């Protein structure tokens, strides 16, 4: 459709921290606080990444403002380094006393940071007994009810365990907890979770061995003479587990300790392992510079040791760092080195991921033939290995390639294979994307009835998931189906629903598309003045917030209007 | 007072909210509530009975004790002294001598506060004794203070020292602990004075709350090691205690000093064989339906919430609130099964975070298999009870079961 933009053209700018699940959790917290004004509430958010916490707090503040509720930050304690050791600065030792005297005059959600740091600080000082703050909260929990305090405590999984054991009565007051993934989400076209991290370090909720490793570490440290090699090996394992738990500060501490010991002992193999783990931890933390430094150090060590299996993983890791930066040539160069090694070693599981990732690099360049070739190799090698969720993504990616070429029959075939898997796995977010993509295929064929039917399925899921950002896109797409039918009133109605969401979310790149599309509806109605007004709104935004494609489209539409 | 829309459901199902006079229409009695039995025992047992009262977190212990002390017959029959250890003592460092001191203080203050004239001899002896057992800080002493004021000030200063001064309380305890037997004599003389007061003395009933909150080792020390001392006050006392005390391997020793033990039971929504028990099940449904309009929750969703609560009241409240939140977010008009599913998955995630040791998984599997509480190592087992991963269905033919939300995590 001339002048209109569809989902495939929507590109996110900058880092998008909040996933659909995050937004749902935010919506739940907002609903809780909005309905707890007369008696207060206690809620826990589990997240280690400060940037993510900041993004969540900003979203909460935005959503709560609509309900006339303010947010107020409270920091109990902060962590810093002192001579290489963790040090804590306690700002509020007794949160109960703080809340007893700081009951807000207006409805407020207190965003409480630093409880894990306060507990650790007190444990360090007090020895083996419970941290005083845990007892204060346990005995003083009624303050939240009496003072009508709504509080969201940011904690980590370790602190949730601590509170459940040491401050049981306070913990039992909670309305709930939300666990947030620490990394940013990567919106846009669906792509596979990339690379060897997935196979090498599968995330598990079962971290039963951490406690065991910590106990072993304490035992080894108490022995004399100290077995430094074993201690460092334990620290390496602890660092690995803590990275999986996204307890990144503690992970980095453990890994750097291990690094120092192996370096001193001259154990090059273990030093390489530590560097690889450090690279991973820094990547998760968003520190790509440090991640690259560690990945290159691991490569140097493994080359020195002639350890080819480890080298392949190292090369792939470095490739991912370049891909994350958008440096596709370098990403390809390192990935091909990994592929060459693993093809010689016959490591099929890793190869399936590497082929898919290489396909993504070609896809990003628009080289669809090569993208298809590598994706088919990934599928061929991956199908017997049985990772269905990964397969569904690869089928979907292949469908996208066919769709981009206009081969809609093939695109549909592969998409339906992906849908069959996701329906079996009940992967609702995945299904919402697949149904939407199927709708786009039907629309491209002009089968608007089918297109609408699949899009309405998408909308039903997204509404159930309260996934507003994607709902705005889906509403926009439905509007275009109505527009294609010439039902301009319905088209405008759905588009205005999309605009309402995007304006509320402040999603300016999408608003460029919305405004442009609304202008097209007015143009089709013959209301050229209104069409121009919306195009100029779109242009004003596009000049600073839109993609180059969107800006070009809006300009072209304005010119066409003038003609 | 019933919720007529989902926002109100979120408000009315707040896990922090206990039942008070305003909300008494929400109260649903449980079939095997020990209230009446405790009441009869207190009213008719002639001895200075000591009762240990326990229950899972969120089972409604505080509400039950409030109900007991508000009972007209109990109020009429007893001089009731009810207090929380948190108010008087240092919760980080609680010992039996501190507890006895708090008992002495509360009894003395209550007698004074209700204008009971204690006899002169008792006051003189107490004054002499408190002067001997000096407190490190002496700010409250003054030359012109009357005898009663001096004693009261001494108690205040003593508990104040215990509550706040870490180094000072050590010094004070060293001086004070050898004289605990003398304190007990004075406590008993105060009790006797209250009970035989010419103005119509009543039997003394002490209800001591929040003794279930200290760490397990502190509770065990109090009721196991120091049990023989704690039973010496010659009046009836109800102690709240953590379930770990009643279910520790040392229970026989505890029973020697505290033979009367009551547990506020969870609702036995199923029998040991896993079959539904209609009476308790309907009570749990009633808890929900007294707080919201029935159309706001699908009947199947309600049944599933009841099942997943394991019969623990606050867990049921929490599940319904979380399901209501989900319903609001997904723009539903009523709570459906899918919303309860979502809440359960979320709470399962919380338990999953806590269940980090294989040893715990093995204990849970054994409990599920045998319905019994048996483990070589007591502490992890008791921790699992505290965390509500193991639920206890006491009184009568009691048994144990793994929290229904947790079962999937251990593969049963």
**pLDDT tens across the length of chain B (412 residues):** 888 899 999 999 999 887 776 787 888 888 888 889 999 999 999 899 999 998 887 777 877 888 888 888 999 999 999 888 877 776 667 788 888 888 988 888 888 777 777 778 888 887 777 777 765 444 444 434 455 566 666 676 666 666 555 555 666 777 777 888 888 888 898 898 888 887 767 899 999 988 887 777 777 788 888 888 889 999 999 998 887 777 777 777 888 888 888 888 888 898 888 889 999 999 999 999 999 999 999 999 999 999 999 999 999 999 999 999 999 988 888 999 999 999 998 898 888 777 767 788 889 989 999 988 776 667 788 788 888 899 988 766 678 899 999 987 787 7
* B326 vs A: CB within 8 A: yes
Pairing assessment for the beta strands A176-179 and B50-55 based on DSSP bridges: unpaired
Give me the domain span that covers residue A234: 201-306
* Listed residue (B372, B400, B396, B399) closest to B388, CA to CA: B400
- The label of the residue with tokens 């933390």 reads A285
* Listed residue (A68, A149, A157) closest to B16, CA to CA: A149
- Neighbour tally for B73: CB within 10 Å: 11
- Two tokens at A99? 């809340």
CB contact under 8 A, B325 and A31: yes
Is the residue at A101 inside a domain?
Answer: yes
Say how far residue B338 (Cα) sits from the centre of its chain: 35
Is the residue at A400 inside a domain?
Answer: no
* B86 vs A: CB within 8 A: yes
Structural contact between residues A452 and A478, judged by C-beta atoms closer than 8 angstroms: yes
* B333 vs A: CB within 8 A: no
Q: What is the CA radius of gyration of chain A?
A: 27
Give A178's strand partners.
A45
DSSP string of A305-335?
Answer: HT-HHHHHHHHHHHHHHHHHHT-HHHHHHHH
B292/A438 Cα distance (integer angstroms): 42
- What is the least distance, in Å, from the CA of B85 to any CA of chain A? 10
The minimal CB distance from A464 to the residues B7, B330, B383 is found for B330
Pick out chain A residues at pLDDT < 70.
Answer: 1-17, 48-51, 81-86, 125-129, 181-209, 246, 545-547
Please give the pLDDT value at position A186.
33
A160/A246 Cα distance (integer angstroms): 14
* Listed residue (B393, B394, B363, B365) closest to B381, CA to CA: B363
Residues 6+ apart with CB under 8 A from A443: A451, A477, A480, A481, A484
Do A110 and A243 fall within a single domain? no
CB contact under 8 A, A145 and B17: yes
What are the backbone angles phi and psi of residue B214, rounded to the nearest 5°? -60, 165
Chain B neighbors of A26, CB-CB under 8 A: none
Chain B neighbors of A501, CB-CB under 8 A: none
Interface of A with B in 159-188 (CB under 8 A): 160-161, 164-166, 168-169, 172-179
B31/A453 Cα distance (integer angstroms): 53
Do A314 and A289 fall within a single domain? no
Q: For residue range A7-66, what is the model confidence (pLDDT) as tens digits? A: 322 222 223 457 777 888 999 999 999 999 888 999 999 886 666 788 899 889 988 888
A32/A28 Cα distance (integer angstroms): 6
A226/A27 Cα distance (integer angstroms): 52
Do A208 and A260 fall within a single domain? yes
Please give the pLDDT value at position A198.
23
Give the residue from A359, A385, A411 where a domain finishes. Answer: A385
| Coil/strand/helix, residue B48 | coil
Do A299 and A332 fall within a single domain? no
Is the residue at A399 inside a domain?
Answer: no
Do A234 and A138 fall within a single domain? no
Is the residue at A475 inside a domain?
Answer: no
Interface of A with B in 134-153 (CB under 8 A): 135, 138-141, 144-145
The minimal CB distance from A208 to the residues B11, B329, B357 is found for B357
- What is the least distance, in Å, from the CA of B370 to any CA of chain A? 24
- The label of the residue with tokens 């326990």 reads B54
A84/B321 Cα distance (integer angstroms): 45
> What CATH number did the domain enclosing A261 receive?
1.25.40.10
> How are the residues of chain A apportioned to helix, strand and coil, as percentages rounded to the nearest 5?
70, 5, 20
Give the residue from A385, A404, A437 where a domain finishes. Answer: A385
Diameter of chain B measured on Cα atoms: 73
Is the residue at A420 inside a domain?
Answer: no
Q: Which of B61, B318, B329 to mutate to test the interface with A (most CBs of A within 10 A)?
A: B329
- Two tokens at B69? 């002390």
Query: CA of B347: which chain A residue's CA is closest?
Result: A176
Q: H or E segment at A87?
A: strand A85-90
CB contact under 8 A, A36 and B346: no
CB contact under 8 A, A173 and B325: no
Q: Which of B3, B16, B346, B351 to mutate to test the interface with A (most CBs of A within 10 A)?
A: B16
* Listed residue (A253, A338, A257) closest to A295, CA to CA: A338
Please give the pLDDT value at position A54.
83
Q: For residue range A166-203, what is the model confidence (pLDDT) as tens digits? A: 888 899 899 999 988 654 433 222 223 222 222 222 22
Do A320 and A172 fall within a single domain? no
Do A143 and A88 fall within a single domain? yes
Torsion angle of C-alpha atoms A220, A225, A227, A228, degrees rounded to 10: 110
Is the residue at A439 inside a domain?
Answer: no
Do A168 and A280 fall within a single domain? no
Is the residue at A320 inside a domain?
Answer: yes
Give the residue from A306, A341, A376 where a domain finishes. Answer: A306
CB contact under 8 A, A172 and B330: no
Q: What is the ipTM of this complex?
A: 0.79
A338/A174 Cα distance (integer angstroms): 48
Q: Residue A535: left if φ>0, alpha if ψ -120 to 50, beta else—which one? A: alpha
Do A273 and A294 fall within a single domain? yes
* B347 vs A: CB within 8 A: yes
Structurally, chain A folds into a number of domains equal to 3
Do A99 and A35 fall within a single domain? yes
Say what angle helices A508-525 and A548-562 make with each other, to 10 degrees.
20
Chain B neighbors of A463, CB-CB under 8 A: 330-331
B267/B151 Cα distance (integer angstroms): 47
Q: Which domains does chain B have, with CATH numbers?
A: 1-24+268-412 (1.10.8.60), 35-264 (3.40.50)
Do A37 and A148 fall within a single domain? yes
Chain A neighbors of B346, CB-CB under 8 A: 176-178
Do A167 and A223 fall within a single domain? no
| Coil/strand/helix, residue A77 | strand
CB contact under 8 A, B322 and A175: yes
- What is the least distance, in Å, from the CA of B339 to any CA of chain A? 10
CB contact under 8 A, A177 and B8: no
* A128 vs B: CB within 8 A: no
The minimal CB distance from B92 to the residues A132, A145, A206 is found for A132
Structural contact between residues B385 and B354, judged by C-beta atoms closer than 8 angstroms: no
A446/A426 Cα distance (integer angstroms): 29
- What is the least distance, in Å, from the CA of A173 to any CA of chain B? 5
CB contact under 8 A, B210 and A139: yes
Please give the pLDDT value at position B10.
95
Is the residue at A464 inside a domain?
Answer: no
Structural contact between residues A200 and A157, judged by C-beta atoms closer than 8 angstroms: no
* B376 vs A: CB within 8 A: no
Q: What letters, b where the CB count within 10 A reaches 16 and e where it falls short, cover B47-66?
A: ebbbbbbbbbbbbbbbbbbb
Say how far residue B137 (Cα) sits from the centre of its chain: 33
Task: Report whether the peptide linkage leading into residue A34 is cis, meaning its omega lies within 30 degrees of zero.
Answer: no
- What is the least distance, in Å, from the CA of A413 to any CA of chain B? 31
- What is the least distance, in Å, from the CA of A464 to any CA of chain B? 5
CB contact under 8 A, B356 and A206: yes
* A46 vs B: CB within 8 A: yes
Chain A neighbors of B383, CB-CB under 8 A: 165
Q: Which of A25, A26, A28 to mutate to test the interface with B (most CBs of B within 10 A)?
A: A28
- The label of the residue with tokens 């008494």 reads B24
Please give the pLDDT value at position A277.
92
């Amino acid at each position: 459709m001339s002048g209109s933009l569809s989902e495939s053209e929507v590109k996110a700018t900058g880092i998008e921290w909040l996933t659909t699940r995050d937004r749902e959790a935010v919506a739940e917290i907002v609903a809780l606080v909005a309905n707890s004004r007369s008696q207060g509430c206690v809620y826990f958010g589990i997240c280690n990444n400060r940037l993510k916490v900041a993004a969540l707090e900003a979203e909460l503040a935005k959503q709560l403002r609509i309900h006339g509720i303010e947010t107020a930050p409270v920091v109990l304690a902060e962590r810093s380094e002192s001579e290489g050791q963790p040090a804590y600065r306690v700002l509020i030792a007794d949160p109960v006393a703080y809340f007893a005297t700081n009951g807000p005059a207006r409805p407020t959600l207190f965003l409480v940071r630093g409880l894990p740091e306060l507990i650790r600080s007190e444990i360090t000082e007090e020895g083996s007994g419970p941290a005083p703050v845990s007892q204060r909260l346990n005995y003083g929990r009624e303050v939240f009810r009496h003072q009508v305090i709504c509080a969201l405590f940011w904690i980590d999984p370790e602190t949730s365990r601590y509170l459940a054991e040491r401050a049981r009565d306070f913990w039992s007051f909670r309305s709930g907890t939300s666990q947030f993934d620490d990394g940013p989400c990567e919106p846009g076209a669906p792509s596979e979770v990339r690379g060897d991290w997935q196979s090498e370090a599968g995330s598990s909720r079962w971290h039963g061995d951490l406690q065991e490793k910590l106990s072993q570490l304490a035992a080894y440290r108490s022995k004399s003479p100290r077995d430094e090699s074993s201690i460092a090996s334990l620290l390496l394992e602890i660092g690995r587990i803590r990275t999986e738990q996204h307890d990144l500060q503690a992970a980095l501490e453990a890994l750097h300790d291990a690094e120092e010991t192996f370096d001193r002992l001259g154990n090059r193999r273990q030093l390489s392992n530590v560097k690889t783990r450090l690279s991973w931890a820094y990547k998760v933390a968003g520190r790509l510079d440090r991640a690259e430094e560690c990945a290159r150090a691991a490569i140097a060590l493994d080359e020195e040791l002639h350890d080819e299996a480890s080298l392949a993983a190292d090369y792939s890791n470095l490739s991912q760092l370049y891909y994350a930066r958008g440096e596709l040539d370098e990403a390809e160069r390192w990935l091909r080195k990994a592929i060459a090694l693993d093809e010689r070693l016959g490591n099929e599981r890793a190869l399936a991921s590497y082929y898919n990732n290489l396909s993504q690099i070609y896809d990003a360049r628009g080289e669809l033939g090569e993208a298809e070739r590598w994706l088919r190799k990934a599928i061929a090698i991956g199908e017997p290995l049985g990772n269905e969720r990964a397969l569904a993504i690869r089928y979907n990616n292949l469908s996208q390639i066919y769709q981009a070429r206009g081969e809609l029959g093939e695109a549909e075939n592969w998409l339906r294979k992906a849908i069959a898997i996701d329906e079996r796995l009940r992967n609702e977010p995945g299904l919402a994307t697949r149904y939407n993509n199927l709708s786009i295929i039907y629309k491209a064929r002009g089968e608007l009835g089918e297109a609408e039917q699949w899009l309405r399925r998408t909308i039903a899921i997204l509404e159930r998931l309260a996934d507003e950002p994607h709902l705005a896109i889906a509403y926009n797409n439905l509007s275009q189906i109505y527009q294609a039918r010439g039902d301009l009133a319905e088209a405008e109605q759905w588009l205005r629903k999309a605009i309402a969401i995007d304006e509320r979310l402040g999603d300016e790149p999408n608003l460029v598309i919305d405004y442009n599309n609304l202008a097209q509806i007015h143009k089709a109605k013959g209301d050229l003045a209104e069409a121009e007004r919306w195009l100029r709104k779109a242009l004003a935004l596009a000049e600073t917030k839109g993609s180059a494609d969107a800006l070009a489209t809006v300009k072209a539409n304005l010119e066409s209007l003038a003609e | 007072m019933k919720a007529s829309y989902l926002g109100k459901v979120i408000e009315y199902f707040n896990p922090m909210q206990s039942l008070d006079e305003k909300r008494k229409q929400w109260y649903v009695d449980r079939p095997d509530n020990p209230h009446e039995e405790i009441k009869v025992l207190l009213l008719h047992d002639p001895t200075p009975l000591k009762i240990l009262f326990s229950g899972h977190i969120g089972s409604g212990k505080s509400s039950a004790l409030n109900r007991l002390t508000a009972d007209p017959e109990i109020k009429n029959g007893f001089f009731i002294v009810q207090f929380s250890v948190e108010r008087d003592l240092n919760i980080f460092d609680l010992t039996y001598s501190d507890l006895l001191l708090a008992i002495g203080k509360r009894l003395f203050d209550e007698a004074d506060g209700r204008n009971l004239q204690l006899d002169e001899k008792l006051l003189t002896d107490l004054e002499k004794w408190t002067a001997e057992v000096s407190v490190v800080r002496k700010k409250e002493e003054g030359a012109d203070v009357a005898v009663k004021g001096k004693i009261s000030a001494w108690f205040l200063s003593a508990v104040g020292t215990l509550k706040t001064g870490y180094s000072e309380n050590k010094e004070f305890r060293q001086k004070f602990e050898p004289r605990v037997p003398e304190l007990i004599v004075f406590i008993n003389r105060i009790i006797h004075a209250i009970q035989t007061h010419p103005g119509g003395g009543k039997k003394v009933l002490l209800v001591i709350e929040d003794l279930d909150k200290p760490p397990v080792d502190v509770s065990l020390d109090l009721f196991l090691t120091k049990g023989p001392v704690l039973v010496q006050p010659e009046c009836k006392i109800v102690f709240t205690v953590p379930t770990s005390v009643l279910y520790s391997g040392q229970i026989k020793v505890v029973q020697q000093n505290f033979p009367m033990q009551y547990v506020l039971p969870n609702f036995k929504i199923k029998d040991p064989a896993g079959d539904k028990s209609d009476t308790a099940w309907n009570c749990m449904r009633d808890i929900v339906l007294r707080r919201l309009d029935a159309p706001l929750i699908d009947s199947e969703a309600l049944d599933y919430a009841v099942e997943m609560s394991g019969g623990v009241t606050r867990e049921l409240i929490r599940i319904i609130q979380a399901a209501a939140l989900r319903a609001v977010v997904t723009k539903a008009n009523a709570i459906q099964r899918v919303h309860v599913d979502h809440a359960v998955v979320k709470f399962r995630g919380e338990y999953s975070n806590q269940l980090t040791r294989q040893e715990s998984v093995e204990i849970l599997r054994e409990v599920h298999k045998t319905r019994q509480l048996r483990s070589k190592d007591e502490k992890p087992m008791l921790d699992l009870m505290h965390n509500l991963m193991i639920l206890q269905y006491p009184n009568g033919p009691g048994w144990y079961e793994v929290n229904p939300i947790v079962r999937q995590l251990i593969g049963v």
